[in-house]
Structure 1
Amino acid sequence: MSEFPDRLRRERVTIDQMIALYCREQHASPDGLCPDCVSLQEYTHQRLEKCVFGAEKPTCANCPVHCYRADMRAKVREVMRYAGPRMLLRHPVLTVRHLLDGRRAAPKLIRRAKPQDR
């Protein structure tokens, strides 16, 4: 994770904290995350690592590229819907930074031209 730009590292920490909060309060997992939440967390890490925008990545809500599978997108929405309002009390700095990041405009995605067969 050390090669991650600060912005992506912060986004990773934010989603990890949201998943942990959700799992602790919804799944009553006494020993960290339940297996479903571990797989969701790993999936979010993979998606962040492969983001086409890199350090210029907008928040997922503002992103023109929807890289999450439909089932995982639904799970992340559920987590964010529950944990988002509660994050302000538990992790106020992360929450404010995430809200500020959400105000950034999404960068334009430059499409690469496909090589033409000759």
Structure 2
Amino acid sequence: MNKVEKKRLKEQQTIEKMIHLYCKKNHHTKALCPECQELLDYAKARSQRCPFMEEKTFCAHCKVHCYKPEMRERIRQVMRYSGPRMLIYDPKTALWHMLCTIKERILK
């Protein structure tokens, strides 16, 4: 597996964790509800087709927003809810995300 594919997989795993957390706490389910599963499938498909994976850190920092407006708003809701809570539920992923975000801001 090359560097770009590893990065893509890490991004997909992170968004999956965030969507699971959001769904569990907001929709009170153990497995993903159909709405959240649709969002996860959509996010993974977008990540899989991303031509900028090598240069970008996260979709929020990308020059091109490939999400449909409705899906973009849904993923924002998930991020707003799950982002801060990831420090409690998955601190390793949260710290990795924060370090990448700081690195992105420094390099700009």
**1:99 corresponds to which letter in structure 2?**
M
- In 1, Cα distance between the equivalents of 2:4 and 2:16? 15
Alpha-carbon shift at residue 4 of structure 1 (Å): 6.0
1:86 corresponds to: 85
- In 2, Cα distance between the equivalents of 1:81 and 1:60? 14
Residue 56 of structure 1 aligns to a residue whose secondary structure is coil
1:19 corresponds to: 19
TM-score using structure 2 length? 0.87
Alpha-carbon shift at residue 103 of structure 1 (Å): 3.1
1:27–1:102 distance in 2 versus 1, CA, 3 Å: same
Structure (1/2) with the larger helix percentage: 2
Alpha-carbon shift at residue 56 of structure 1 (Å): 2.8
Q: Which has the larger radius of gyration?
A: 1
Q: Deviations over 1:70-99 (max 9, x none)?
A: 000000000010011100111111111112
How many residue pairs were aligned? 105
1:2–1:41 distance in 2 versus 1, CA, 3 Å: farther
1:9 pairs with 2:42: no
Residue 103 of structure 1 aligns to a residue whose secondary structure is helix
Residue 33 of structure 1 aligns to a residue whose secondary structure is coil
TM-score using structure 1 length? 0.80
After TM superposition, the structure 1 = structure 2 runs for residues 90-101 of structure 1, keeping only pairs within 5 Å, are 90-101=89-100
Residue 23 of structure 1 aligns to a residue whose secondary structure is helix
- In 2, Cα distance between the equivalents of 1:56 and 1:19? 24
2:41 corresponds to: 42
Seq. identity, %: 41
